[in-house]
Amino acid sequence: MGTNVTAKENFITEMPDLYTEVNSRENPQLLHLQYQRIIRQNQEECKTIIENLPLIVARVNTKSQHIYINPVIFQDTGLSPQEFIGKTFREAGMPHNFCILWEASFSYAFTTGREALFESDFINQQGEHYYYQCRIIPEYNQEGTIKSALYTLMNITDHKKLEAKLYRQHQEFQALIENTPDIISRIDKSMRITFINSSITQLTGIPAKEYINKTLHELINCDPNTLNLWIINVQQVFVTKKSNVFEYEYPGLNGIRYFHARIVPEFGIDGSVERALCTSRDITTYTNLTTEMARLDRLNLVGEMAASIGHEVRNPMTTVRGFLQMMSLKKENKKNNVFFNIMIDELDRANSIISEFLSLAKDKSVHLKETNLNSIITALMPLMQANAIVDNKTIHHDLAIIPNLQLDEKEIRQLILNLVNNGLDATESGGTISIQTFTYDNTVALAIQDEGHGIPKDIMKKIGTPFFTTKEKGTGLGLAVCYSIANRHNATIQPITGPHGTTFYILFPIKNKDVVKYLTPNANHL
């Protein structure tokens, strides 16, 4: 019973629609009116949609004259749609360059029957600059010929501004990266270098592009110890996912350089480390300064000790030496003269050590007067040549024109003799010691070069340390005295060593900054 009731209700509900459909079939004119109503409804809906779209939509005839354009055009140009109807862009008063581009694009679309995709821009009367992504679509009639074209302009001004901002930021970032003195690189999981800035060239002399897409294992021109240290630290970052900091030294183009390195992991979306960002900062100046400060502290300590106990030790030694000499003159002691002479020689040696010890005194007085360094070297040449000839060695000097300096002549003589004697000890028979003077970067430079086998790196770090010596009978005070003398003259000592010898540069500051700066060809170590 319930089923019959439901069927009846459905029949009553569907009857009006069935009646309308049957009636429409019997009356074609009514059906046509219904179709027209539906079409008008659809047209109104489409018009509403088109006129509220966030882009300019228009239709032009084959003469590029506007048949329709939606109101969005007013927002950008200040012109109403009516001012475009029946007109081309040029006739509507659009800018010349804008019109040329559009005329060419319309011509392409109408001639080829293909869509035209391009970008255009213009500046409106208010001076506002707009950018558009444009599209022209040819429209065909029933005969298959082009009757019109539909075009759209999507405003991409905000996108262009953002693009320009990103480009500027990229350029600024790139300029910063390329001009920073730090070496910056990026390394992927396979130890391959994907980026490195040009600062690497200043260290190695190899262009940065030569490193790109090479693994760390393929860098055969790099120092192997440094390379292994880098590989270990980069691999550790990929494993631990934590930053790594370490220091290393590298034998670069200008000698040993010291670096502070930092490796930071760069994570992917899945949380794994995809790349390692690496920076290396040159801390050579800081390292050398720290070493120099430590050395000066040791010198000052020894100097204070020398000033406080040197004279107290020397006075009793002088008394002992006097009595030994007196006793050696007595007849009954003639048979022991050999022993007396040995004791006196040892006392004299101890006295010379104390004299050098006293030269380290921090508050030792210096008697400065205007003197030319060349005249001191010239006066010492006979003495130095005599010492060299004994061991079949020669001393060559090349003295350039240099300004006078405020010097303590006695101390400078001691400094030169100490360095030349060290050079003679390091040079084999038949070798030459070269002495040069020249001006360099507002300093007067004294260069003393030997032809030895160079100074090992571990010993180089200890140069100038009081009581450190590699000589069997050395006191370890010779170079310490030289550094102390240089310090009292506000000069600096820069040793440069290699397998073919060592050069000690002593740089005296020139107070008169108007002195012309020049550098002799033989002084290219600096």
Task: State CA 233 to chain mean position distance.
Answer: 20
Predicted pLDDT of residue 522 = 41
User: Confidence band (pLDDT; 50, 70, 90) for 288?
Assistant: confident
CB 361 within 8 A of CB 306: yes
CB 376 within 8 A of CB 412: yes
CB 437 within 8 A of CB 518: no
Residue 177 has pLDDT above 50, yes or no: yes
**β-strand pairing of 146-155 with 56-61:** antiparallel
Predicted pLDDT of residue 178 = 82
Domains of the chain and CATH, by start = 44-156 (3.30.450.20), 164-287 (3.30.450.20), 289-360 (1.10.287), 369-509 (3.30.565.10)
Q: What are 367-384's pLDDT values in tens digits? A: 888 999 999 999 889 888
Predicted pLDDT of residue 517 = 43
What CA–CA distances, in Å, run from 375 to 378, 481, 510? 5, 22, 17
* DSSP helix/strand/coil, 97: helix
User: Confidence band (pLDDT; 50, 70, 90) for 480?
Assistant: confident
What CA–CA distances, in Å, run from 234 to 240, 247, 267, 414? 10, 13, 14, 51
Predicted pLDDT of residue 54 = 80
Helices (H) and strands (E) in the chain — how many of each? 13, 17
Residue with tokens 């319309």: 106
Predicted pLDDT of residue 106 = 94
Give the pLDDT mean for 44-49: 66
Cβ-based neighbour number of residue 180 at 10 Å: 14
DSSP letter (8 states) at residue 83? G
Q: What are 301-316's pLDDT values in tens digits? A: 666 666 566 556 666 7
Predicted pLDDT of residue 278 = 94
User: Confidence band (pLDDT; 50, 70, 90) for 398?
Assistant: very high
Count Cα neighbours of 302 within 13 Å in the Cβ-side half-sphere. 23
Predicted pLDDT of residue 326 = 83
Predicted pLDDT of residue 224 = 85
Give the pLDDT mean for 211-239: 89
Predicted pLDDT of residue 9 = 59
Q: What are 77-100's pLDDT values in tens digits? A: 888 999 999 999 999 989 999 999
Q: What are 427-438's pLDDT values in tens digits? A: 999 899 999 999
User: Confidence band (pLDDT; 50, 70, 90) for 521?
Assistant: very low
Residue 318 has pLDDT above 50, yes or no: yes
- In three-state form (DSSP H/G/I as H, E/B as E, the rest C), the secondary structure along 419-472 is HHHHHHHHCCCCCEEEEEEEECCCEEEEEEECCCCCCCHHHHCCCCCCCCCCCC
Helix (H) or strand (E) holding 508: strand 501-509
Predicted pLDDT of residue 484 = 82
Q: What are 139-154's pLDDT values in tens digits? A: 999 888 999 999 999 9
User: Confidence band (pLDDT; 50, 70, 90) for 468?
Assistant: low
**Mean per-residue pLDDT of the chain:** 82
Residue with tokens 């393929």: 218
Q: Which segment, 43-52, 79-88, 322-331, 449-458, is predicted with the most confidence on average?
A: 79-88
Residue 401 has pLDDT above 80, yes or no: yes
Give the pLDDT mean for 93-112: 93
Give the pLDDT mean for 327-338: 81
Measured CA to CA, the distance from residue 336 to residue 157 in angstroms comes to 109
pTM: 0.49
Helix (H) or strand (E) holding 129: strand 129-140
- The first and second tokens of residue 101, run together, are 């581009």
Residue 525 has pLDDT above 50, yes or no: no
Q: What are 433-460's pLDDT values in tens digits? A: 999 999 887 889 999 999 988 888 777 7
